[in-house]
Amino acid sequence: MILPKLTERTFEQGPIRPPSEAYSLLIRATRNCPWNRCQFCPVYRGQRFELRPTEDVIKDIDTAKAIADDIKQLAWKTGNGSRTREIAAAIYSQGQHDFSIRNVALWLWAGADCAFLQDANSLIMRTPDLVQVIAHLKKTFPELTRITSYARSKTAAKKSVEELMQLKEAGLSRLHIGLESGSDLVLTYMDKGVTAEEHIKGGRNVKAAGISLSEYIMPGLGGRKMTAQHATETAKVLNEIDPDYIRIRTLYVRQGMDLWSKIESGDFELQGEDEVVEEIGNIIEKLEVTSELKSDHILNMLPELEGKFPQAKQDCLASINRYLALSEKERLNFRLGRRAGFYEKLDDLYEAHRYQKVDQIMNRIAKETSGTVDDAIRQLMETFV
């Protein structure tokens, strides 16, 4: 489909959003991270945190609205309004526009019902300013059913429940918090800037305000030395909070990250992927929550570790045991096949044609390259972060 070019309009966007917000309208409420010291996080390194003037954020929302209107008008001009999604998909895939227009196009295509406020901790904004931004977003796009943002536990712990309730009232539906670990030992080592107690207080405040709470945990973050504390204390903190969602986001360290130098010096010992799976099992084993577990990050090896607890607990543990009971060769085959896109779930391993294809690749790596299959897996994972 050949489409006329839309009027170039642009609004600011930040670098990341949670996987579950892949189709959300992205509005940058603040720039970068006010903490910016976590050893495992390179996302905002070297970038100064800034509170954006509220009027600039509001202008961005208005620009997003103008873009959405342009796309809808184009749909009318090329047929009728019911073609909006089709036109939006074409605009997104043709790639002739910048990120702002493409984000609005993707959002319209996906149903235009969710928005995400970037960057790392927009909850740190003055509550009246954030209320103004959220209320304007809701007024401009009344069709939104979900407005979410990232937040730090420390900030959520400092806000009063009343303030959080004002945000909820304005339209904030969910906060995504990087809990990472419930162990003070691990949190201090990683310079996370928050304690287990603050995690609990922050999480409970969010829940008390009626805002949906999504807590990210990071398997592998304790390394070999702190894995026991990491698993036990993380489960303990989650049990205290009982968030709506627990999301798994496995540690991946690459050159250039602060943590890399600790690995090189031997101070931090990375776990192998199978050890991390075992660690996830140890966390799940200890969970006594009613949360929904999600494994929606591409770095996670077992995407099937999902479901509403406590009902899903046994199935998740069964999947982990099933994986760990595979032979070494089968586990290596699954790890490579999963990272190379041949497998989505463990069951896929039993489809002979997929298994054989991955097996052939493993043989080729052994014969034709100087590296190992593990090196190939690492190279594939480098592209995910």
Amino acid at 344: E
Please select the residue that binds ligand SF4; options are 6, 38, 151, 177, rule is CB under 6 A: 38
Instruction: Return the beta strands (E) in the chain as ranges.
Output: 25-28, 30-31, 50-51, 114-118, 146-151, 174-180, 212-217, 245-248, 292-294, 307-308
Contacting residue, 178, 182, 220, 223, with ligand SF4 by CB under 6 A: 178
By beta-carbon proximity to ligand SF4, the closer residue of 138 and 245 is 245
User: Distance between CA 7 and CA 139 in Å, rounded?
Assistant: 24
The answer to the question of residue 35 lying near ligand SF4 (CB under 6 A) is: yes
Q: Is 202 in the site for ligand SF4 (CB under 6 A)?
A: no
Beta bridge partners of 175: 149, 213
How far apart CA 66 and CA 100 sit, in angstroms, is: 11
Q: Which stretch binds ligand SF4 (CB under 6 A): 31-39, 202-210, 271-279, 341-349?
A: 31-39
The nearer residue to ligand SF4, 193 or 307, going by C-beta atoms, is 193
Of residues 37 and 345, the one with the C-beta less far from ligand SF4: 37
Residues from 87 through 146 that contact ligand SF4 (CB under 6 A): 120
3-state secondary structure of 116: strand
Q: What's the min distance (Å) between Cβ of 165 and ligand SF4?
A: 24
Among 25, 26, 29, 33, binds ligand SF4 (CB under 6 A): 33
Q: Closer CB to ligand SF4, residue 37 or residue 126?
A: 37
CA dihedral 293, 297, 301, 306 (to 10 degrees): 20
Asked whether position 68 contacts ligand SF4 by CB under 6 A, the answer is: no
| Binding residue for ligand SF4, selected from 43, 51, 263, 340, defined by CB under 6 A | 43
Where helices occur in 120-183 by DSSP H, the ranges are 127-140, 153-158, 161-170
User: CA-based Rg of the chain, rounded to a whole angstrom?
Assistant: 22
Residues that bind ligand SF4 (CB under 6 A): 33, 35-38, 41, 43-44, 120, 152, 178
